[in-house]
Structure 1
Amino acid sequence: MSDPIDTDLYERTKALLEPGDIELLGMVVHTDLGGQEDLEMQELTVDLNEVIAEHAGKGESYIHAGNEDTDFSSNQFQGRTLDDEEFVWECQQLLREGTFDLVFYYEAGVDQASLGDDVRALDAVRDVTLVP
C-alpha cells in the first residue's frame, strides 16, 4: 500500500474500523471536487454506491441520507440493499483543504485492491487510500 495522502484522516478512519458487530474495511476517496461542486460530489457518491455494492455482492442498493434521520449527522450516508435494507456501506463527505474527501466503511470480504482500482477509474477521483 502506498502512503496515505492525509495521515490524520487515515488514522481516524482506521480507528473507526475497530471490531464491532461486523468486521469492516474502509477507504478514503480523495477528489478534485471543490466546495462549490456539491452536486458533482453527490453524483460521485451515487457512482461509488454502485461500485461498492457490486464488489460486495449485495445486489441493487439505494442511498439512505443522514439529513432525513436523527440517528445520522449531516453529510452521512448509508448504502442499503433494495430487498431487505441490509447494510452495504456508510460514508462521510468531508470538505478538507478545499476539496471533498469521502470516507467509506463497508463489510470485510471485499477485494480491496480490485475495489480501489475501480474507484480510481471514476471521474473526479484524484486518489484512493485503502484502510485495512
Structure 2
Amino acid sequence: MSETVDADLYARTKALLEPGDIDLVGCIVHTTLGGEEDLEMHELTVATNDVIAEHAEKGEAYIEAGNDDTDFSSNQFQGRTLDDEAFVWECQQLLRDGTFDIVFYYEAGVDQEALADDLTALDGVDRVTQVP
C-alpha cells in the first residue's frame, strides 16, 4: 500500500476517534486478503472480535452486521456483549490496493501493543497500525 493512501486511512481513522460519549482508540488491520477472499475476511473479522473482546475484558461478544440495522452501512459491523448488548468495537472493511484493510475502533483502556501483537498473529494479517 502506498504511504499516501496509508497516511490518509490513518488520518480518517483518527478523525473517527474524536471525543464523543465514549473515549475511543483504534487500529487498522492490514490484511493479505484479496478482494475475492470475502469469506476469509469474514473469518478474520470473527477472530478479531474474540481478540478485541478479550483485551477489552467485556466478556463474550457477538457481531452485528451493518445490513441488519439501518443506522449502519454495509461492510460496517459492531461487536456487542452477549450479556447486555454493550458496545465492544465497531469496524469497517475497506478494499485498498487489492487487499482488505479493516478499521476497528473500541473503548480506550485496552493495551494497544498487546492487542496489536495478538491481532498480527491471526491468519491473513499483514500488519496492524495503532491509532491512538
Band the TM-score falls in, shorter-chain normalisation: over 0.9
For residues 85 and 16 of structure 1, the distance between their equivalents in structure 2, rounded to whole angstroms, comes to 22
TM-score by length of 1: 0.96
Shift of the 31–15 alpha-carbon distance from structure 1 to 2, 3 Å rule, reads same
CA-based RMSD of the aligned residues comes to 1.3
Aligned to 1:21: 21
Contact 1:61–1:79 (CA under 8 A) maintained in structure 2: yes
Pairing of 1:2-81 with structure 2 (within 5 A): 6-81=6-81
Give 1:16's aligned amino acid.
L
Q: How far did residue 88 of structure 1 move?
A: 0.1
Give 1:61's aligned amino acid.
A
Aligned to 1:121: 121
Q: How far did residue 5 of structure 1 move?
A: 7.8
TM-score by length of 2: 0.96
Shift of the 109–4 alpha-carbon distance from structure 1 to 2, 3 Å rule, reads farther
Percent of aligned positions that are identical: 76
Q: Secondary structure at the match of 2:20?
A: coil
Contact 1:76–1:91 (CA under 8 A) maintained in structure 2: yes
Contact 1:17–1:25 (CA under 8 A) maintained in structure 2: yes
> 5+ residue gaps in structure 1?
none
For residues 122 and 98 of structure 2, the distance between their equivalents in structure 1, rounded to whole angstroms, comes to 20
Aligned to 1:99: 99
Structure 1, residues 69-126: CA drift from partner, whole Å, max 9, x if none? 1000010000000000000000000001100000000000000000000000011000
Q: Secondary structure at the match of 1:28?
A: strand
> 5+ residue gaps in structure 2?
none
Give 1:68's aligned amino acid.
D
